[in-house]
Structure 1
Amino acid sequence: MGETRVRQLETALREAGVRLTRQRAALLRVIAASADHPDAAELHARAEAAGAGVSLATVYRTLTTLQAQGVIEKLELQDQPARWEVTDPHHHDHMIDVETGEVMEFTSDRIERLQAEIAAEMGYEIVHHRLELYVRRTRRG
């Protein structure tokens, strides 16, 4: 899966007319390997740790290009730097822990049905949606 993802990202850059430099190739490997939702600075630090020698400006330009190509998504979260994830063909929503900043993915058939029902009651059908729940762990005891 990882190499397939890297190839998809490489193809997207080429199709956008962006030259695939050694630095960008290393950054794409970092993006493809990210199981979390890193921000641009975290991606830059990971690429640097991998010896990419890529500038933060190149990271931002590359992310913007990949987003325009539809292969990565930007998560603009309340009071946090934008986070990034590779586009997933399977829909999921996000919960963001307001204390730790952790971003967790989840799916819920109940929520999906309820959203569709509400839209239908109002005379609409859902074309696209994003759901972000800002959460705090409950204290038990």
Structure 2
Amino acid sequence: MSGAHSELKNAGLKVTGPRVRVLEHLETTRDRHLSAEDIWSALKEHGDEASLATVYRVLTQFEAAGLVQRHTFEGNTSVFELADEEHHDHMVCTKCGSVTEYVDEIIERRQHEIADAHGFEVSDHVHVIYGLCRQCH
């Protein structure tokens, strides 16, 4: 059984062709942050006949099962990435749209200190920095 097959079964999802192909594409692409349209176009290029609606449906199912995370960066376009065990934040270039992941322990600690000072219990957070990447400035 392939890795995608076992991941789908472990997530409680039935193994179907579209689910396997979307998951395999997410696992093998170099770009970790893909829109449904990006995935659909890549599948189409490889002869897959799944519709864009099918790709959206699969990604929504993956999100509900915890296999992917959805991010809506500037421009209201959702992008998806495989769910990681470790938390990370993002920097998004407002010119080319590139997304850079980073982890900063000081920022993580300060967020919790601020929340504690206000009696706020953190369940999750999103930290996105917008600006120009190295190639665009």
TMscore range, shorter length: 0.7 to 0.9
Percent identical pairs in the alignment equals 29
Question: Cα deviations across residues 92-140 of structure 1 (Å, max 9, x unaligned)?
Answer: 001100011001110000100110111111122322111111122479x
| Counterpart residue identity of residue 101, structure 1 | G
Runs of 4+ in 1 over 3 A off after TM superposition: none
Determine whether 1:95 maps to 2:91: yes
Asked if the contact 1:97/1:136 (under 8 Å) is kept, the reply is yes
Residues 87, 137 of structure 1: CA spacing in aligned structure 2 closer, same or farther, 3 A cutoff? closer
Q: Which residue of 1 aligns with 2:29?
A: 34
Q: Which moved more, 1:25-34 or 1:102-111?
A: 25-34
Given the alignment, which residue of 102, 117, 120 partners 1:124? Answer: 120
Residues 111, 53 of structure 1: CA spacing in aligned structure 2 closer, same or farther, 3 A cutoff? same
Determine whether 1:23 maps to 2:21: no
Structure 1: give runs of 5+ residues left out of the alignment: none
Residues 24, 116 of structure 1: CA spacing in aligned structure 2 closer, same or farther, 3 A cutoff? closer
In structure 1, how many angstroms separate the alpha carbons of the residues matched to 2:10 and 2:59?
Answer: 11
Alignment RMSD, CA only? 2.1
TM-score scaled to structure 1, two decimals? 0.83
1:60-99 matched pairs, under 5 angstroms = 60-99=56-95
In structure 2, how many angstroms separate the alpha carbons of the residues matched to 1:44 and 1:138?
Answer: 29
In structure 1, how many angstroms separate the alpha carbons of the residues matched to 2:101 and 2:122?
Answer: 20
Structure 2: give runs of 5+ residues left out of the alignment: none
Q: Which residue of 2 aligns with 1:10?
A: 8
Question: Cα deviations across residues 57-112 of structure 1 (Å, max 9, x unaligned)?
Answer: 11000001111111101101121411000100001001100011001110000100
| Counterpart residue identity of residue 34, structure 1 | T
Aligned length: 133
